[in-house]
Structure 1
Amino acid sequence: MKKSLKYTFLAFALVVSFGIAGCSDFLDLKPKGKEVPTKLEHYNGLFNNTLLINLAFSEQRPDGSISPGTEPLLMIYMGDELIADASSFASMDRTALAAYKFEADIFNEDDVSAEWNAPYQQIYTYNVIVNGVMDADDGTREEKQRLQAEARVGRAYMHFLLAQFFGKPYNESTASQDLCVPIVTKATSADRNFKRATVEEVYRFIITELEEACPQLDEQTKHKLRIYRAAGYYMLGKVYFSMGNYGKALTALKESLKATENSTVPLGLFDYNTSLAEWGYNPIMANMWGLMGSYPSNFDLNNQENICTKQYNIMTIMFAIYPPTVYVKPEYMALFGESDLRLAFFNTKDYTGTTLWPYSRRIQRITYSLGGDMPDLYLMLAECKARLDDLSGAREDLLALREKRIAGADAAIPAEVDSKDKLIRYIVEERKREFMMSGMRWFDIRRLWNDPLFQEDKQNYTHTDGQNIYTLTEDRLVFRIPPKVLSFSTDWENNK
């Protein structure tokens, strides 16, 4: 899809009349003659910004309004659970095909990458706050520090997401040599000498920011569009979890779970035994659920599983009015038992009841959030505890989720899961069931690539178009930097 070379990276708050950033630098950091915020309410208002909740690149229209991002995060095409046939394969656009086939060059010269642009778009706004709020004309020092902490956490987490796409998985033995992404801490276009930091440098920056800022976050979660302590510690735990540092991850995740109990909005797990019916699901007309009801959006205060909205959509792979582009492999659908209520989210039939699709496709839930997800929190807690030999604690957390997802006695953990290694593998299998066809699998594939317990899984890291087989290799755990970005940084070494 054609895009102007002058795309924008910032939309300021709704509360104050700041405008859109726009310049020819790859980060597009220069504001167009707009005032600098001076009061605490101005800095607080900068958080009330739709660009800070959507992981999609948004552009400025000629009339000054903001167009919502349309480019999906391409990880939704790269999970090992996906399969296509000749018809669905032919319906994918070029970038989706490149991602599905695990090609080296996903982006061409005209493509906008949501994976690159959306995080840096958010980082600009966070930098405005981090670097300026302490000099606000009013407000107490404590009030200023809380806003600065929130912005530091958001900025750090955006660097983490960038590292999941453009840096190698964290490996202590190679992190000091592996190239990652630029660390950007200033809201200015004066500095054009951005360099790719190493994985070690990026993670050190992220962890330092989160460890220092999380204790200063507001303790009580007041709504889902801002970063409070539950979300901050979730993000810190997620970072340590991705590094394989399960001890420190567990400490942070326990803080997150504790903080969810201090909230003015509902936070907890949905019980599918009752929730599915409330959302309009009728097992007699399961294929009609996409028309007759809906999973709560991330903006719904009753969506108690969403801790903090950093959302992305999977519309291009599941929205009902489009032809399906990908399905779920039969062997992955077989991971669901007959009593698993998550089966309601998948179907092989169209709205007339005709079996139309060769495999199961997702028919419900369009968006997910990477800013804090209660099922992910419970599953990370369970895996951390299992890896640290707290098997009873791991089982308790795992069962807490399964009882909300599986009817009756079948929610029990199978008796054959009778060792530490088996329990760890079963928890990861539960992650597959919980996040099937959501794109979340990408993070586990990267994290577990060199884990001895999961080497046999690599034989399943393949896609097909019905005839050809495409295999994920280690090089393709990292996206190549988009040509449009490299055009502003011609001295950078690209990923393989």
Structure 2
Amino acid sequence: MKRYTSLVTTTALLATLILSGCKGFLDEYSQDTIVPTSAKDYSEILYGDAYFKEVTLPYRYLDLLTDDVMAYANTKSVQGEDQRRTAFGYFTWQDQPELSPTKVLNSDYTWLTLYQHILTSNIIINQIGEIKGTPEEIARLEGEAHAVRLFAFFMLTNIYGEPYDPATASTAMGVPLNYHHYAEDVSFPRATVAEDYAEMVKDIEGAMTAFAKADNEGTIYRWNAAATAVLASRVYLHMQDWDSVIKYADQALSLNGALHDLNKLPAPGSDDAKIFLGKENREINYSYGFGWIPEFRTVHPFYFNASSDLLSIYSEGDLRYYDKKGYFINANKINVGSFWFPKYEYVMDVVKSGTKEDTHTYGFAIRSAEAYLNRAEAYAMKGDLSRAMKDLNTLRRARITPEHAMLETPATQDEAVRLIREERRREFCFEQLRWFDLRREGMPELHHTYITGNAKEIGTEEYTLPAKSPKYTLPVPQVVRESDAVLGGGKTTK
């Protein structure tokens, strides 16, 4: 079996070959390591180095920051770890969210991981003219590399950069732009938010141009034209470029406009109910990441789960969640008493995803539902309320029983936007979009109650995130600040 090095290692190897001029160098190099030359070789390396597969995502804390989550105590549980330790800093919006209540560092590797993805993509895009393969294979590889880089810059900018505002984007603090296609001991200064989004736009155009030349749509486990078009509509939604949102949502839905109709599935909460993000769900365009976030597992003595505020916005007939049953959130009835004197309580579980063994997909997805809601919001912001509500109701018919699904067109633009954004919150709960939506929707004040103590002595502490707080932008991770002269002091780093 071939064993490919990472692209960073491979690039260093090629540079050594060029500089050494030694014909015998390869004889000393590991005989079972192959230097990539073909589109297939580079495709395998891209998938290995720059795709989230069945791994816990480094930014799994995003939902902990939002109003969709509250703290719970399962005082009868003796399983698992106390999940307060890793969640505390994010759930309570600390200045240094990586620190636990006892000041233990729970390192955030999002920055390093996503910049590794960017470097891998840079190398492939730079090499594209030298790669062997059919035009269709090379085009697909190029499209994937642009899409990987687009996703990485979007996540980095919206976690560590200021929210996009057309009036301030040219001066607002973004994240560094790394154009290098080789490893080098150099530090990159922060770009502006406008510069970051301009880079995303280039990758949108590069990916969509390349995918148009590719052989087919491939698999949901790799970036493709439909998934990239959905992501493009998300990028333009943040930029408030409503015409471009509509353009790319149109493209996405022309490639895959399917919705997973919950009305056609077994009753939510029943033994026959399927996991929503599974192989039967035809609206999935791209599937990635591990589905179970440890902090949300209810078997732990202290954990985090759906907030009462989130649960309250689901109404009668909603098959995602209502009256303790749903395909997104479902109540688990447990005995907190004894065998002889049982006492039952309902514990809410997030059930929309699972392991790949259970679902034949990964736990997170880019799917056509987002294209409908992105386009609906863009239409509403342009004042076309009829088309906005048509898209909104198209989604609702696939999520809510027929007698409750349809909404009338409201009298005002503000009300239409409110309905669409509320639907968005219901639809994408626990898919790591809510924090970004809160940022772009004005950064409202949030409140969290943190549970302290132990099974015998439970206490609470109240925390508030003020409206428009600078804490809506997370600090650069400590491991990066300590090693980068520009971002936090110390020696430079690649």
TM-score bucket of the superposed structures, by smaller chain: 0.7 to 0.9
CA offsets 1:296-346 (integer angstroms, 9 cap, x no match): 555x3x332221124353422433533461233334322111211111143
**Counterpart code for 1:113:** D
**Counterpart code for 1:52:** Y
Answer whether contact 2:481 2:488 (CA < 8 A) is retained. no
Partner Cα distance (2:11, 2:487) in 1: 19
Answer whether contact 1:227 1:308 (CA < 8 A) is retained. yes
Answer whether contact 1:315 1:366 (CA < 8 A) is retained. no
Q: CA RMSD in A?
A: 3.2
Q: Which residue of 2 aligns with 1:381?
A: 375
* Structure whose residues are more often strand by fraction: 2
1:449 aligns with 2:427: no
**Counterpart code for 1:464:** T
Match of 2:88 among 82, 97, 115: 97
Partner Cα distance (1:195, 1:370) in 2: 32
**Counterpart code for 2:333:** D
**Counterpart code for 2:465:** L
Answer whether contact 2:226 2:255 (CA < 8 A) is retained. yes
Structure 1 residues 269, 331: CA separation in 2 closer, same or farther (over 3 Å shift)? same
Match of 2:66 among 79, 84, 88: 79
Answer whether contact 1:91 1:325 (CA < 8 A) is retained. yes
Partner Cα distance (1:72, 1:239) in 2: 19
After TM superposition, give the deviation of residue 430 of structure 1 in Å: 0.7
1:18 aligns with 2:4: yes
Q: Which residue of 2 aligns with 1:429?
A: 422
Partner Cα distance (1:149, 1:364) in 2: 29
Partner Cα distance (1:401, 1:477) in 2: 30
Partner Cα distance (1:386, 1:72) in 2: 31
Q: Which residue of 1 aligns with 2:183?
A: 189
1:295 aligns with 2:290: no
Answer whether contact 1:235 1:372 (CA < 8 A) is retained. yes
SS of the equivalent of 2:448 reads strand
Partner Cα distance (1:248, 1:177) in 2: 23
Match of 2:329 among 336, 346, 355: 346
Structure 1 residues 463, 418: CA separation in 2 closer, same or farther (over 3 Å shift)? same
After TM superposition, give the deviation of residue 281 of structure 1 in Å: 3.8
Structure 1 residues 316, 52: CA separation in 2 closer, same or farther (over 3 Å shift)? same
Partner Cα distance (1:87, 1:475) in 2: 33
1:225 aligns with 2:234: no
1:468 aligns with 2:427: no
Answer whether contact 1:318 1:364 (CA < 8 A) is retained. no
1:163 aligns with 2:157: yes
- Within 5 Å, which residues of 2 pair with 1:54-133? 54=53, 68-69=55-56, 71=58, 73-85=60-72, 91-108=82-99, 110-133=105-128
**Counterpart code for 1:342:** R
CA offsets 1:338-376 (integer angstroms, 9 cap, x no match): 21111114345434596435x744345248866622222
SS of the equivalent of 2:345 reads coil
Partner Cα distance (1:227, 1:348) in 2: 34
CA offsets 1:435-485 (integer angstroms, 9 cap, x no match): 2344321111011116xxxxxxx34x2111264321224211111111111
Structure 1 residues 293, 391: CA separation in 2 closer, same or farther (over 3 Å shift)? closer
**Counterpart code for 2:317:** S
Partner Cα distance (1:440, 1:169) in 2: 14
Partner Cα distance (2:187, 2:49) in 1: 29
Match of 2:406 among 402, 405, 412: 412
After TM superposition, give the deviation of residue 46 of structure 1 in Å: 2.6
**Counterpart code for 1:444:** D
Match of 1:177 among 136, 153, 171: 171
Equivalent pairs counted in the alignment come to 434
**Counterpart code for 1:272:** L
Partner Cα distance (1:97, 1:29) in 2: 40
**Counterpart code for 1:39:** S
SS of the equivalent of 1:84 reads strand
SS of the equivalent of 2:173 reads coil
Q: Which runs of 5+ in 2 are unaligned?
A: 15-28, 76-80, 336-341, 356-361, 452-459, 490-494
Partner Cα distance (1:75, 1:249) in 2: 24
1:327 aligns with 2:305: yes
After TM superposition, give the deviation of residue 219 of structure 1 in Å: 7.4
After TM superposition, give the deviation of residue 153 of structure 1 in Å: 2.2
Structure 1 residues 371, 404: CA separation in 2 closer, same or farther (over 3 Å shift)? closer
SS of the equivalent of 2:463 reads strand
Q: Which runs of 5+ in 1 are unaligned?
A: 1-14, 57-67, 262-267, 283-288, 451-457
Partner Cα distance (1:355, 1:51) in 2: 45
SS of the equivalent of 1:372 reads strand
Partner Cα distance (2:151, 2:59) in 1: 19
After TM superposition, give the deviation of residue 94 of structure 1 in Å: 2.8
Q: Which residue of 2 aligns with 1:154?
A: 148
Structure 1 residues 86, 232: CA separation in 2 closer, same or farther (over 3 Å shift)? closer
SS of the equivalent of 1:468 reads strand
Partner Cα distance (2:344, 2:369) in 1: 31
| Bigger Cα Rg | 2
Partner Cα distance (1:21, 1:377) in 2: 33
SS of the equivalent of 1:350 reads strand
Match of 1:480 among 475, 478, 482: 475
Match of 1:234 among 201, 224, 230: 230
Partner Cα distance (1:325, 1:297) in 2: 23
TM-score normalized with structure 2 length: 0.78
SS of the equivalent of 2:303 reads coil
Greater mean alpha carbon deviation, residues 155-164 or residues 220-229:
220-229
Q: Which residue of 1 aligns with 2:287?
A: 309
Q: Which residue of 1 aligns with 2:130?
A: 135
CA offsets 1:17-43 (integer angstroms, 9 cap, x no match): 2135789xxxx9967976542122212
Partner Cα distance (1:30, 1:293) in 2: 51
SS of the equivalent of 1:253 reads helix
Structure 1 residues 475, 186: CA separation in 2 closer, same or farther (over 3 Å shift)? same
Partner Cα distance (2:349, 2:39) in 1: 48
Structure 1 residues 361, 370: CA separation in 2 closer, same or farther (over 3 Å shift)? closer
Structure 1 residues 435, 235: CA separation in 2 closer, same or farther (over 3 Å shift)? closer
